[in-house]
A and B are shown apart, each in its own frame.
Chain A
Amino acid sequence: MGAKKVIEVPYVVELPVGPQHPALHEPLLLKAYAEGEEIVKVEINTGYNHRGIEKLAERNNFYRNIFICGRVCGICNTVHANCYTRALEYLLGVEPNNRAKYLRVVAMEFERIHSHMLINAIMAEILGFDSLFMNMMLDRERIMKAKEILTGNRVIGDYMMVGGVRRDVDEVKRDKLIKLLKQLRPRVEYYKKLFIEDETILKRLVDTGLLSRVNATKYSFVGPVARGSNVRIDVRASDKYDAYGDIPWNVITYKEGDSWARMMVRWDETLEAIDMCIYALEHLPSDGNPVPDERRLPRKFPEGESYARVEAQRGELTYYVMSTGGVNPYRVKIRTPSFLNVIHSAILYPGYSIADLPVIFVSLDPCIACMERVAVVDVDEGRRRLVRLKDLAKGVY
Chain B
Amino acid sequence: MSVIEKLNALKKYFVEEYIIKPNRRVYVFKSEDLKALFQDLIKVFGYENFYVATIVGTDLISEGKIRLDYYVNLLPDEVTVVFRTYLPRENPTIDSLIDIIPGVLSGECETYDLVGVVFRGNEFLKRGFFVPKEFVEQKIYPLRKDVKV
Contact = CB atoms under 8 A, between A and B. Distances in A.
Interface of A: 46-47, 50, 52, 54-55, 90-91, 213-214, 217-220, 222, 231-235, 237-239, 304-309, 316, 318, 320, 322, 330-331, 333, 335, 339-340, 343-344, 347
Given A47-B129, A318-B54, A343 B22 contact: no
A220 B48 CA distance: 10
B13 interface: no
Contacts of A333: 54, 56, 58
A214 B48 contact: yes
A217 B51 contact: yes
Interface in B98-141: 101-107, 109-110, 114, 128-132
B50 A217 contact: yes
Nearest to B113: A47
Interface string B48-72: 1111111010100000000001010
B21 A220 contact: no
Nearest to A90: B21
B36 interface: no
Contacts of A330: 58
A330 B54 CA distance: 18
Given A90-B21, A307-B24, 4 more contacts: A90-B22, A232-B75, A238-B78, A347-B102
A367 to B, nearest CB: 14
Interface of B: 20-22, 24, 47-54, 56, 58, 69, 71, 73, 75-80, 82, 101-107, 109-110, 114, 128-132, 142-143, 149
A309 B80 contact: yes
A365 B62 CA distance: 41
Contacts of B53: 220, 222, 316, 318, 335
A356 B69 CA distance: 37
A96 B101 CA distance: 39
Most chain A beta-carbon contacts within 10 A, residue among B71, B103, B130, B143? B103
Contact of B47 (A91, A214, A343): A214
27 contacts: A46-B129, A47-B128, A47-B129, A47-B132, A50-B130, A50-B132, A55-B142, A55-B143, A90-B22, A217-B48, A217-B49, A217-B51, A217-B75, A220-B103, A220-B104, A222-B53, A232-B75, A233-B78, A304-B21, A307-B71, A307-B82, A316-B53, A318-B53, A320-B69, A322-B58, A333-B58, A343-B106
A238 B107 CA distance: 23
Most chain B beta-carbon contacts within 10 A, residue among A90, A218, A232, A347? A218
A232 B102 contact: no
Given A90-B22, A306-B20, A344-B102, A50 B47 contact: no
Contact residues of A: prevailing secondary structure: mixed
Contacts of B142: 52, 55
B106 to A, nearest CB: 4
Most chain B beta-carbon contacts within 10 A, residue among A54, A90, A304, A309? A309
Most chain A beta-carbon contacts within 10 A, residue among B20, B51, B109, B131? B51
In the A-B complex, the 4 residue pairs with the smallest Cβ-Cβ separation, listed nearest first, are A220-B103, A238-B78, A335-B54, A90-B21
Contacts of B52: 220
Nearest to A238: B78
A304 B54 contact: no
Contacts of B105: 343-344
Given A50-B131, A306-B21, A331 B106 contact: no
A340 B20 contact: no
Contacts of A217: 47-51, 75, 103
Given A213-B48, A307-B82, A218 B101 contact: yes
A319 to B, nearest CB: 10
B22 A306 contact: yes
A100 to B, nearest CB: 17
Contacts of A55: 142-143, 149
A54 B143 contact: yes
Nearest to A231: B75
Given A217-B48, A305-B21, A320 B106 contact: no
A339 B131 CA distance: 15
Contacts of A233: 73, 75, 78
A220 B132 CA distance: 26
Given A47-B130, A91-B21, A218 B47 contact: yes
Nearest to B56: A333
B90 to A, nearest CB: 20
Contacts of B50: 217
